[in-house]
């Protein structure tokens, strides 16, 4: 009997949710996605110190001798996620998602500017933009940035997505992919109600199922990638979703479990459902967002969390830079 991971791969694209290159090699996903917290964790692993040091040394050379460690670390930080992305693309056959600075989540122009910089770094390294997804938080401003980027052939992954209003706005903006956060939705409901949820009762599972069915019912091209799982039960309930991005621990659990995996999400079933279409504009988006306490809380918390991870990473890089030998001045 086949293991659950192999069966899942037969109708869902499996994506590794990790900055750990060794884990990605082990589970052979099609794509890989990272976020600031994962990059910060990977940057502290001894196995990847050479990547970090290489990025720091390059940033120091570009900045010149007069630049402070803090300025050099800030410059290096902008290229570190791409450095990991390039390594990951040596392993996966598909795409890597690289995130823009979460502190720009409410600034459309700055998000576009940083997305251009990320794509340029990949293309300068000989990597096609077709193999990169720019990860952007699903604020209204972020969705508008993605809408513009998509017209330039820069594909986007809209993250920190918790509500149907965000998903509809993304689909209307013709973004390539969305990442609804299953586990974080569950976390909020458990804390709010004091209850535990399993199977189809899981609020995160319900949310992704609703979004998937809405997209398939109305023929949107945007694909759904369930993310942020707390247990394999959530993954099993979303089998058949376009993509699922899964942490190494849960990938291992699926790989070592045998049984029959039933497809739960199916475009043909969705087509027959009675679903009302919701016209989406900024006023509707803001109203639905204000009325959805969970989506409001988790989007704010997610942006703050990723911003904190970035600040911690900048400090880590500055500390590491201070430990590296300074280049010797060449006498003339």
Give how far the C-alpha of residue 288 lies from the chain's centroid of Cα atoms, to the nearest Å.
Answer: 23
| Residues 94 and 57 sit within 8 Å (Cβ to Cβ) | no
CA atoms within 13 A on the CB side of 248: 13
Our answer to whether residue 9 is catalytic in this structure is no
To the nearest 10°, the Cα dihedral for 278, 281, 287, 292?
60
DSSP 104: G
C-alpha distances out from residue 244 to 93, 117, 183, 300, Å? 16, 27, 12, 23
Segment (H or E) for 290: helix 282-291
DSSP states along 6-71 = HHHHTTSEEEEE-S-HHHHHHH--SEEE--HHHHHHHHTSGGGHHHHHHHHHHHHHHH-TTS-HHH
Residue in the structure block whose two tokens are 């720019």: 134
Beta pairing class for 156-161 and 132-137: parallel
Euclidean distance between CA atoms 322 and 320, whole angstroms: 5
Of 135, 144, 217, 298, the active-site residue reads 135
Euclidean distance between CA atoms 314 and 72, whole angstroms: 10
DSSP states along 121-167 = HHHHTT--GGGEEEEEE-SHHHHHHHHHHHHTT--EEEEEE-SHHHH
Give how far the C-alpha of residue 331 lies from the chain's centroid of Cα atoms, to the nearest Å.
Answer: 47
Euclidean distance between CA atoms 125 and 19, whole angstroms: 19
Active site residues: 135
């Amino acid at each position: 009997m086949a293991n659950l991971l192999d069966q899942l791969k037969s109708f869902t694209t499996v994506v590794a949710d990790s900055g750990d290159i060794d884990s990605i090699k082990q589970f052979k996903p099609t794509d890989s996605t990272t976020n600031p917290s994962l990059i910060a964790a990977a940057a502290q692993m001894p196995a990847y110190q050479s990547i970090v040091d290489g990025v720091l040394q390059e940033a120091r050379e570009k900045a010149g001798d007069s630049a402070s460690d803090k300025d050099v670390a800030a410059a290096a930080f902008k290229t570190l996620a791409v450095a990991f992305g390039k390594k990951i693309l040596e392993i996966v056959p598909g795409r890597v998602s690289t995130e823009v600075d979460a502190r720009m989540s409410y600034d459309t122009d700055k998000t576009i500017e940083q997305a251009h910089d990320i794509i340029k770094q990949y293309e300068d390294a000989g990597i096609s933009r077709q193999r990169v997804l720019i990860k952007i938080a699903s604020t209204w401003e972020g969705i508008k940035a993605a809408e513009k980027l998509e017209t330039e052939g820069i594909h986007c992954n809209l993250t920190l997505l918790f509500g149907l209003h965000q998903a509809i706005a993304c689909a209307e903006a013709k973004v390539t992919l969305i990442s609804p956060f299953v586990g974080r939705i569950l976390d909020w409901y458990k804390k709010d109600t004091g209850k535990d949820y399993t199977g189809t009762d899981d609020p995160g599972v319900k949310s992704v199922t609703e979004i998937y069915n809405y997209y398939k019912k109305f023929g949107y091209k945007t694909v759904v990638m369930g993310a942020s799982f707390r247990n394999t039960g959530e993954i099993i309930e979303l089998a058949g979703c376009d993509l699922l991005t899964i942490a190494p621990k849960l990938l291992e659990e699926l790989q070592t479990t045998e049984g029959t995996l039933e497809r739960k999400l199916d475009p043909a079933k969705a087509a027959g459902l009675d679903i009302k279409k919701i016209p989406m504009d900024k006023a509707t988006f803001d109203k639905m967002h204000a009325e959805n306490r969970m989506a409001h809380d988790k989007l704010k918390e997610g942006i703050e969390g990723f911003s904190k991870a970035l600040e911690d990473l900048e400090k880590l890089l500055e500390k590491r830079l201070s430990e590296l030998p300074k280049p010797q001045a060449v006498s003339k």
